[in-house]
Chains A and B, each alone.
Chain A
């Protein structure tokens, strides 16, 4: 089912926020909506958004491509995003990532066979002094987990259904 059919009210509410001749401004909200729906933004969703906003699908892809938290590939249900930028690296983020990868049985960038987790390496998430740190992106929520050891991390993941 298309987004417009499934979420017609929500979409109406989004459009109501912008003057009609500026409706392209609704692009971020619509991208969030699409990502919440499928965990990523599919080609079809981009096409649909482009038609709704009367802009080209390439323009939609440009915006989706600019933001690192928009994804255009279907991956695991939960995206575990470990920061390995310089300050975190100094607090052992690299080995933390390796251990976590081993425990999950995947390499960074890969998804577990059961489709639950995708392990990702990301740039600074703004918690440098509390590394090792990772965030879990799921639907339209992001949760932070700081000062993590491997055991604590696995416990966090276990609690996710």
Chain B
């Protein structure tokens, strides 16, 4: 517990911990000291001088160390002859501060006047207009008139692309350095800086590629002027025309809280459409940030490939006909199965599971990563919070590249490590986390040796000791280089480690699966089973009900003559939809309500943002209607009632309901309309911070001995081992509709070590033909040092249908022709 300090700000007595910055202390007491460069999540810089205040400190008698008193017995105060910045001064006992005195107001007014001398004041066409700290603080503190000649303003470039996604307006920049500090301090990618100095200072990047951080969009939220705008939203709408709907990002398992800003507009044929995505504050999940995939990847919800009506045998039909056909198909099939993905809500999955049970067919989860059973039992439990991790705690990241697979977890793990948590990374190659977070230990193993990872951690004395002594231990696991079975064994081994080190079943401790989908954990919790190999299902079943997945497009299955009766329920036209006998058109999650369970086992609500497309329906409603035709009575209207049923049926969900999920807790820093200058345009959380599921009541059970049932392939002399990896920006059906991300997605490629490339006789930029098993694909060669020799990394969902590690051969594409 740090020492408390009492001071007086504008006549109000405030008591805060020693070391608190004056500007924060004031804000906690409800006093807004104006700021531009200060941001509560960044180190103070004292760049802008907007926070000038008068500070008096008690005079101390040097001999006695006691305050000198005046004739009234009050401590005498000493004021510096000048104003001081509230963002760089920490509080001290007996300090007396005036933020609104004549002198302070003068300083603040002069600062605004100076800033405006070279500001273009093009508010009428500026995207920030309406939520702009410079506008607001000019109104509140600035002079009504400038003494500066308008013609003397310096004019600078207005549309400078810093990367594909972010534009800089040099005239508007007030040189606060928030964007620079965000990238350097929080993300660890210092790709922005000031060039030149004084009046010539400018924000630049000379990195190559330029500003391509996956967190780049956040700089537009904290830029206190309209200098940084996104390629997506710039000139798109005025803030005051926008409505806000609370939601959860659907692009990975982190479950960032977001807001969809929408408006009805003529240029979208009078529809209500999404104009932008903003982070919604949740200090337990994503603070004030989201990644660029979450911010810019929503365009799939308005893609031209959206399914708008049900179909049978390739023709549009009525819902009644489609459901009838689907029901008949399921009824008459003796061998049938259901496969669903973690893109669906808990309510959808629960409904599907009920239908599967009713028809006595298996309910499979479509996932490349196994082990959710273990997360269900050894995951985080109620009250856990990654931001509580710091000195004395340990975080283990195994076989996952968090920057590419779950960016906000990368950020949070990096922050925990900066706070002093021991970070242990086990990965076959160097990942961004290893390069940019302070870490204690790195365990490098070869592809194929995944079965030994945990054993080797145990054997390394220092690591073992750290794990045992850690107050809290959180383990993230992914599946790089592994098939489903191997990643399942890995999860079991990790669970075992939690038990062995005494961390299982405790708050702030547990296993986290880095799933590629927002609600994979929900599916595990609700009893879905993994399926190792889909192809046999497609060859032996009479009927399959596929919901929210594209196994044909992803390369998991191939058309092989015999085809089961396929019922495909999805929101987009996909390769799988094209194979379907019956197509059921689901609406996007932005058009309905529901809940997702994140990898941390946090259940969070999302709300409808826009109206449904065409005649599409929520997944649970479609399944319920199908159930009705098959003699099963399911809730078809209310997601809230379905959630009640879930809470009644599954102990981990006990006591939760939509009202509890909508609860919020007080958070620091404050956000919202009055706080844009302080914390940026991240939105306040008024509609729910979610709840982590309770520990499953099997805390005492020990895991099965983790045996690797099947070893994964390892590199061998003279052959090339292809390994699929996850990249944040892939060419999956959910991301390609976002045209502005195409630059980040790039072309299909294979990444080789320089030596491997040399041995194969290929160089960077060349096009090669890759052959594996009985397949082949073309790809561009990239050469990077971090790839193990003899291995070719192939990003998933990039047009190369590689679903698991395989041996391969490379040819120059030209030579082949």
Contacts and interface: CB of A to CB of B under 8 A. Distances in A.
A59 B190 contact: yes
Given A43-B206, A46-B206, A58 B192 contact: yes
Nearest to A61: B206
A62 B194 CA distance: 6
Interface string B189-219: 1111111110000001111100000000000
B190 A66 contact: no
Nearest to A66: B197
A57 interface: yes
B196 A61 contact: no
Contacts of A59: 184, 190, 193
Contact of B191 (A43, A46, A58, A66): A58
B194 A58 contact: no
Identify whether the interface residues of A are mostly helix, strand, loop, or mixed.
helix
Contacts of A65: 193-197, 204
B207 A66 contact: no
A90 interface: no
A43 B192 CA distance: 16
A59 B206 CA distance: 9
Q: How large is the interface on B (under 10, 10 to 19, 20 to 34, 35 or more residues)?
A: 10 to 19
A43 B206 CA distance: 9
A102 to B, nearest CB: 28
Contacts of A122: none
A55 interface: yes
A104 B313 CA distance: 84
Query: Does more than half of chain B's interface fall in helix, strand or loop, or is it mixed?
Result: loop
Interface in B406-458: none
A109 to B, nearest CB: 15
A147 interface: no
Contacts of A8: none
Contacts of B197: 65-66, 68
A57 B194 contact: no
Interface in A48-97: 55-59, 61-62, 65-66, 68
Contacts of A62: 193-195, 204
Contact of B190 (A46, A55, A68): A55
A4 B191 CA distance: 24
Contacts of A66: 194, 196-197
A56 B194 contact: no
B197 to A, nearest CB: 5
Nearest to B189: A56
Q: Which of A43, A55, A57, A65 has the most CB of B within 10 A?
A: A65
A62 B203 CA distance: 9
Contacts of B189: 56
A23 B191 CA distance: 19
A96 B413 CA distance: 61
Contacts, number: 39
A47 to B, nearest CB: 9
A50 to B, nearest CB: 9
A85 to B, nearest CB: 13
Residue among B192, B193, B205 with the highest chain A CB neighbour number at 10 A: B193
Contact of B204 (A46, A58, A68): A58
A59 B191 CA distance: 7
Nearest to A47: B208
A57 B207 CA distance: 6
Contacts of B193: 58-59, 61-62, 65
A57 B206 contact: yes
Contacts of B190: 55-56, 58-59
Nearest to B210: A58
Nearest to B195: A65
Interface in B707-724: none
Name, among A58, A59, A65, A66, the residue most crowded by chain B CB atoms within 10 Å (CB to CB): A58
Interface in A20-45: 43
Interface string B287-322: 000000000000000000000000000000000000
Best-surrounded residue of B190, B194, B204, B208 (most CB of chain A within 10 A): B190
A58 B207 CA distance: 6
A58 B206 contact: yes
Interface string B164-202: 000000000000000000001000011111111100000
B508 to A, nearest CB: 30
B310 to A, nearest CB: 52
Contacts of A68: 197
Interface string B605-620: 0000000000000000
A61 B204 contact: yes
A46 B192 CA distance: 15
A56 B206 CA distance: 9
B52 to A, nearest CB: 25
Nearest to A60: B206
Nearest to B192: A58
A56 B207 contact: yes
Nearest to A46: B206
Contacts of A43: 206
B191 A56 contact: yes
B690 to A, nearest CB: 36
A25 to B, nearest CB: 16
Nearest to A59: B190
A55, A59, A68: most-surrounded residue (chain B CB, <10 A) = A59
Contacts of B205: 58
Interface centre among B191, B197, B207 (most CB of A within 10 A): B207
A53 B197 CA distance: 23
Interface string B207-240: 1100000000000000000000000000000000
B591 to A, nearest CB: 41
Contacts of A55: 190
A144 B448 CA distance: 67
A62 B201 CA distance: 10
Nearest to A64: B195
B195 A61 contact: yes
Nearest to B184: A59
A65 B200 CA distance: 10
Contacts of A57: 206-208
A59 B196 CA distance: 13
B438 to A, nearest CB: 10
A59 B192 CA distance: 8
A123 to B, nearest CB: 10
Nearest to B211: A58
Nearest to B193: A62
* Minimum-distance CB pairs A-B, first 8: A62-B193, A65-B195, A61-B206, A56-B190, A58-B207, A58-B193, A59-B190, A58-B191
23 contacts: A46-B206, A55-B190, A56-B189, A56-B190, A56-B191, A56-B207, A57-B206, A57-B208, A58-B193, A58-B205, A58-B207, A59-B184, A61-B193, A61-B195, A61-B204, A61-B206, A62-B193, A62-B204, A65-B196, A65-B197, A65-B204, A66-B194, A66-B196
Interface of B: 184, 189-197, 204-208
Given A57-B207, A59-B193, 9 more contacts: A56-B207, A58-B192, A58-B193, A59-B184, A62-B204, A65-B196, A65-B204, A66-B194, A66-B196
